[in-house]
Amino acid sequence: MARKRSLFSTGVQFVLKGRLKAVSKKNFTPFYQTPLSLLRRGAGGEVTFKIGGRNYRRLVVLTLSVLFGLISTLSIPAWSNSKSPIPNSATRALQLAQEGQQLYNAGKFDEAAKLWQAAAKAYQQQGDREGMNKSLINQSQALQDLGLYPKACKTLLQAFAVDKPTCTQSQLNSFLTNISQKRDSLSLTQATGLRSLGEVLRKQGLLKESQKVLQLSLAVLNKSPESSAVLLSLGNTERALGNQIRDRWDYEQITAIIDQKSQDSALAPYQQAFKYYTQAATVASSPPVVKISAQLNHYKLLLENQKWWREQTSRRIVSWTRFGESQLIERAKDFLSQLESQLSQNAQTLQTQIESTLATVPPNRAVIYAQISFADCLIKTEQLDKAKPVLDAALQQARTLQDRRAETYVLGYLGQFYYQQKQLNQAIALTQQALALAQEQNVTGDAREITYLWQSQLGSLLREQRDTKGAIAAYTAAYNTLQSLRSDLNANNRDVQFDFLKEVKPVYIELADLLLQSKLGADELNSLVVSNPNITQAKFEQNQPKNRLEFARRVIESWQLAELDNFFQDPCSEETNIAIQIDDIDTQAAVIYPFIFKDRLEIILSLPGKPLQQFAIPVSEDKVNDTLDRLYDYLDNVTVNNSARNILATANPDPEELKENIQTLLPIFAQLYNWLIQPVETQLNTNQIKNLVFVLNGRLQKVPMAALYNGQQYLIEKYGVALVPSLQLIDPKLLKREKIKVLAAGVSKQVQIQGETFPALVNVPKELEEIKEAFPSSLKLLNQEFTTQTIQNQLKENFPVVHLATHGLFSSNPQKNFIITGDGKSISINELSNLLREQESNLELLVLSACETATGDERAMLGLAGTAVRSGARSTLATLWPVSDASTAQLMGEFYQELTKPGVKKLNALRIAQLSQIKSLRSKPLFDELKSLPPHPYFWASYVLVGNWQ
């Protein structure tokens, strides 16, 4: 028996997460605000602020993060002293500050920010530094509420007298060093400014910097009642840091925690957040609004952890059931039972505390949003009998205070409540009321982030009532709202948990599902205005979908683009301004759009010169996902002993195990062929198609499509195969062969980075030399010659092809998304993309010949797909899993030789190189036991071409 790798090994990966964030250039109220104040509760629902012995008051305004679930208090008031006489010289500045506060309280953040800016200038002119700083801090809060975090950051640094504030990383580091040295002399005003800065930095994803600033603010406030707001902010920052830590765990690491039944390890990333939330809620004389916020955020974090570990454990139980691992299954069940018991007990204690706090807090806007947030938790935990009274109370208070924004949230959640109760008519009526209120607010402000929620909820309710046309209209409205927001997706607020899949993806999926099942005619389709902010008015009519299939495809591609934007946390994917058709790119290619729905698999087929065609395969989502999971387990799962990856990772692979492995894999690849290719095969043959281009999503993105098997041959043996994230991202130009020169860099020696050893790639020199032979004007950089600096310098020569033969990883974890350079360092894929974009001419092809996608990371392919987009490369060639150094060098040599031939497309060059490997393995199999079987896909199917295949 061959010796196997250990079942578990350490490693990290991070699924970068976020949620939809709407940012308006006009008026905008975000989902949640932040506690900046030095607070103590006064009478009549007001908050009294005590700074330097003076008291200030204002009504508290609070909004809710519906998606993220963090709630917190709002800004400091206008800094004034209503009890002392006001010198005439100070009247104008104070008047501006007070007017700004009035506008802020009314939700007019844009106007408030302008008045506070004017107040700061007026205070500066009269030499009142303190008054200027307080106005700047207020202005920064209004800018935060508008989602303008970079500007808010600069404003705060201005309050700290930073010269020419830019909020760059180097400037922030310098500021932190200087302000830390003044720690003992900081005033309460400065502590408040630091509190605000900590929030801004967290929302920009600068979590470590946020942590340092908030800890400095806390040190100034010590254990005073005012410290509770800072503790709440620290809890929120530590929660975001915990998300990073936990989401960087890879499949193996999570599996090890479950197998070891380590509850402490499972919750370790969040212990600091739990601690700060507890402290914030228990500070003596802590303002009730801070106390309830801390308790709710703590409560939601417990529930989120419970849900996350339930999903992760269930996934492994399914996998271990497949392999009969009864002991592992029992350990997993024990782990989950013990963890859920602990979390449930803590959550119940907090729930009791929240109920008690809400019962004693005077009614105000802050309480309304706390009630909404709490009711959301109760609905999600199926405590419907407790949720209804809470929402009813919140609705009554919202109407008493005439808070229309709060009212739309309460009505929407009441709609969800009745939806859960299956009282559809009541749910629809309430959702329509919520939507009407949200749309009213769009007239004077920006409530799109609320609007799409209720449009989507209405679509779901109407579908439940079997009102297909009404549901399509509602989902189309939500789709249009999201399209208008697409450039704003996660461009700010980068600390948020990834609720994008939960809240945004269903809009696209449900609309596509309804369109594909409907019989929508042309007239009905024309009544559904489809917006696209990136298409000019002149092109609008030209780009309107002509039929329901075209509309469905548009929706699916829009989802792909939105997911890429979300993955990279900025709108990086710039689509063309006209609707690209396959005819514009390759008349011998077909585009296949497979989409998995709950009850079926749908395929949209795009053929040159033909209308779109639809094929429905009656197979459930559960069955498709189970098949894809089995493929992953047997092919690339490092935690499964008999996966191909583990069998071939041993020094002496067992031929019988490898034979058994491929005999298991072939029927899986055959099943996928029957689902994805067989239904469209007649059309492919009739239209003499030679190339297949797949637009994949979800778990399908990790499938090596070239290895689909029809019982006699692999797909690659009949067609060229390529992947694209969206046809709308493809530039249809051909590769200019006469101008090809390659910047070929590689690392052949063993490299050790941060305790991890990357083995020598001894065939890299040969690989680079063969590229030089194929294209003599190319440049080689080997080992020490290959550094970040040399790459940056040489790219000024505008190489159309960049080839990097070195270890690397595509992952959704930014810290595990890198390539190794020859000087023993690493460069992130993001940094590499930025370097490549500096070229004056477009990058035609980026080849990463020794990179792989992170094992078990279903979103890692987004990193691979997006790299081409972000780097400006029209296509990228990389590998899905680790491949042999020798076979890679051979394949790359043949790939470049083919590219020297006139008219050979990149896709066909890769296909010929892969076919050469298949032929070699057929004639000389690794073991005699494999002679009667097709060559194992693990050896050759890892290579994928993403982007323009021409």
- Residues 879, 809: Cα–Cα separation, whole Å: 9
- What is the rounded average pLDDT of the residues 605-617? 94
Look-up of token digits 């765990």: 249
Question: Quick one: pLDDT band at residue 493, thresholds 50, 70, 90?
Answer: very low
- Residues 492, 149: Cα–Cα separation, whole Å: 7
Q: Could you tell me which of 469, 401, 414, 408 has the C-alpha nearest to residue 434?
A: 408
Greater model confidence, 483 or 391 = 391
CB within 8 Å of 341: residues ≥ 6 apart: none
**What three-state secondary structure class fits 668?**
helix
Give the pLDDT confidence score for residue 876 in this predicted structure.
87
| Torsional sign, CA 779, 785, 789, 793 | negative
Give the pLDDT confidence score for residue 230 in this predicted structure.
94
Q: Which two tokens stand for residue 816?
A: 């595990």
- Residues 882, 220: Cα–Cα separation, whole Å: 52
Residue 61 has pLDDT above 50, yes or no: no
Give the pLDDT confidence score for residue 25 in this predicted structure.
29
Helix (H) or strand (E) holding 886: helix 885-899
Any idea what the Cα angle at residue 387 is, between residues 381 and 390, rounded to 5°?
A: 145
CB within 8 Å of 701: residues ≥ 6 apart: 723, 858, 861, 862, 865
Q: Could you tell me which of 419, 420, 409 has the C-alpha nearest to residue 368?
A: 409
For 654, 666, 842, 894, 918, the CA distances from 914, given in Å and listed in that order, are: 25, 18, 27, 9, 6
**Where do the H-state alpha helices sit in 222-287?**
227-247, 251-259, 263-267, 271-282
**Contact (CB, 8 A) for 459 and 471:** yes
Q: Which two tokens stand for residue 87?
A: 């010198």
Give the pLDDT confidence score for residue 814 in this predicted structure.
56
Q: Could you tell me which of 576, 753, 72 has the C-alpha nearest to residue 370?
A: 72
What are residue 601's DSSP bridge partners?
596, 617
- What is the rounded average pLDDT of the residues 402-414? 89
- Residues 354, 295: Cα–Cα separation, whole Å: 6
Give the pLDDT confidence score for residue 16 in this predicted structure.
24
CATH architecture of 736-904: 3-Layer(aba) Sandwich (3.40)
- Residues 710, 592: Cα–Cα separation, whole Å: 17
- What is the rounded average pLDDT of the residues 622-644? 90
Give the pLDDT confidence score for residue 812 in this predicted structure.
61
Q: Could you tell me which of 481, 487, 456, 509 has the C-alpha nearest to residue 561?
A: 487
Q: What is the CATH number of domain 17-247?
A: 1.25.40.10
Residue 121 has pLDDT above 50, yes or no: yes
What are residue 591's DSSP bridge partners?
606, 693
CB atoms within 10 A of CB 925: 17
- Mind listing the pLDDT tens digit for each residue in 329-387? 999 999 999 999 999 999 999 999 999 999 888 877 778 889 999 998 999 898 999 99
**CATH 3.40.50.360 spans which residues of the chain?**
736-904
What's the burial of 111, exposed, middle or buried (CB within 10 Å: 0-12/13-18/19+)?
A: middle
Of 170-179, 490-499, 571-580, 877-886, where does mean pLDDT reach its minimum? 490-499
Residue 864 has pLDDT above 90, yes or no: no
Any idea what the Cα angle at residue 892 is, between residues 891 and 894, rounded to 5°?
A: 65
| Torsional sign, CA 914, 919, 920, 924 | positive
Helix (H) or strand (E) holding 694: strand 691-694
CB atoms within 10 A of CB 613: 15
- Identify the top-confidence range among 246-250, 570-574, 824-828: 824-828
What are residue 56's DSSP bridge partners?
49
What are residue 853's DSSP bridge partners?
810
First to last CA, the chain: 46
Question: Quick one: pLDDT band at residue 757, thresholds 50, 70, 90?
Answer: confident
- Residues 592, 348: Cα–Cα separation, whole Å: 49
- What is the rounded average pLDDT of the residues 383-393? 94
- What is the rounded average pLDDT of the residues 693-703? 88
Residue 5 has pLDDT above 70, yes or no: no
β-pairing, 751-753 vs 756-758, is antiparallel
**Contact (CB, 8 A) for 375 and 394:** yes
Give the pLDDT confidence score for residue 28 in this predicted structure.
26
Give the pLDDT confidence score for residue 903 in this predicted structure.
83
Greater model confidence, 407 or 443 = 407
**What three-state secondary structure class fits 736?**
coil
CB within 8 Å of 854: residues ≥ 6 apart: 13, 250, 809, 810, 811, 812, 813, 816, 860
Which one-letter DSSP state was computed for residue 714?
Answer: B
- Residues 869, 65: Cα–Cα separation, whole Å: 31
Residue 50 has pLDDT above 80, yes or no: no
Top CATH class, 582-728: alpha beta
Which one-letter DSSP state was computed for residue 37?
Answer: S
Of 62-76, 299-313, 574-588, where does mean pLDDT reach its minimum? 62-76
CB within 8 Å of 278: residues ≥ 6 apart: 294, 298
Give CA 147 to chain center in angstroms.
18
Q: Taking the C-alpha atoms of 788, 794, 796 and 797 in order, what is their torsion angle to the nearest 10 degrees?
A: -160
Residue 924 has pLDDT above 60, yes or no: yes
**Contact (CB, 8 A) for 456 and 504:** no
- Residues 282, 225: Cα–Cα separation, whole Å: 10
- What is the rounded average pLDDT of the residues 503-515? 89
Q: Which two tokens stand for residue 306?
A: 């419970």
What are residue 55's DSSP bridge partners?
50
Question: Quick one: pLDDT band at residue 265, thresholds 50, 70, 90?
Answer: very high
Residue 447 has pLDDT above 80, yes or no: no
For 62, 122, 851, 908, the CA distances from 128, given in Å and listed in that order, are: 30, 9, 59, 72
Q: Could you tell me which of 695, 639, 709, 641 has the C-alpha nearest to residue 941?
A: 709
The mean of the pLDDT values for the chain is: 81
Question: Quick one: pLDDT band at residue 773, thresholds 50, 70, 90?
Answer: very high
- Residues 826, 809: Cα–Cα separation, whole Å: 11
Q: Which two tokens stand for residue 8?
A: 């578990």
**CATH 1.25.40.10 spans which residues of the chain?**
17-247
Assign 3-class secondary structure to 429-460.
HHHHHHHHHHHHHHHHCCCHHHHHHHHHHHHH
For 110, 766, 875, 881, 906, the CA distances from 890, given in Å and listed in that order, are: 61, 9, 21, 17, 17
Q: Could you tell me which of 608, 605, 585, 581 has the C-alpha nearest to residue 595?
A: 605
Give the pLDDT confidence score for residue 860 in this predicted structure.
65
Give the pLDDT confidence score for residue 530 in this predicted structure.
52
- Residues 768, 724: Cα–Cα separation, whole Å: 27
**Where do the H-state alpha helices sit in 260-383?**
263-267, 271-282, 288-322, 326-360, 365-380
Which one-letter DSSP state was computed for residue 873?
Answer: -
Greater model confidence, 53 or 472 = 472
Residue 862 has pLDDT above 90, yes or no: no
For 196, 386, 554, 723, the CA distances from 611, given in Å and listed in that order, are: 56, 53, 14, 21
Give the pLDDT confidence score for residue 796 in this predicted structure.
85
* Portion of the chain with pLDDT greater than 90, in percent: 49
**Contact (CB, 8 A) for 692 and 852:** no
Q: Which two tokens stand for residue 93?
A: 């500045």
**What three-state secondary structure class fits 770?**
helix
- Identify the top-confidence range among 84-88, 324-328, 735-739, 805-809: 324-328
Look-up of token digits 């860099």: 745
Q: Could you tell me which of 464, 502, 457, 455 has the C-alpha nearest to residue 482?
A: 455
Q: Could you tell me which of 945, 932, 887, 324 has the C-alpha nearest to residue 633?
A: 324
- The angle that helices 109-125 and 88-105 make with each other, rounded to 10 degrees, is 160
The predicted model scores a pTM of 0.78
Of 27-36, 210-219, 318-327, where does mean pLDDT reach its minimum? 27-36
- Identify the top-confidence range among 20-29, 669-678, 728-737, 883-892: 669-678
**CATH 3.30.420 spans which residues of the chain?**
582-728
Give the pLDDT confidence score for residue 870 in this predicted structure.
67
Amino acid at 657: E
Greater model confidence, 507 or 530 = 507
- What is the rounded average pLDDT of the residues 756-775? 90
**Contact (CB, 8 A) for 547 and 591:** no
Helix (H) or strand (E) holding 384: helix 384-400
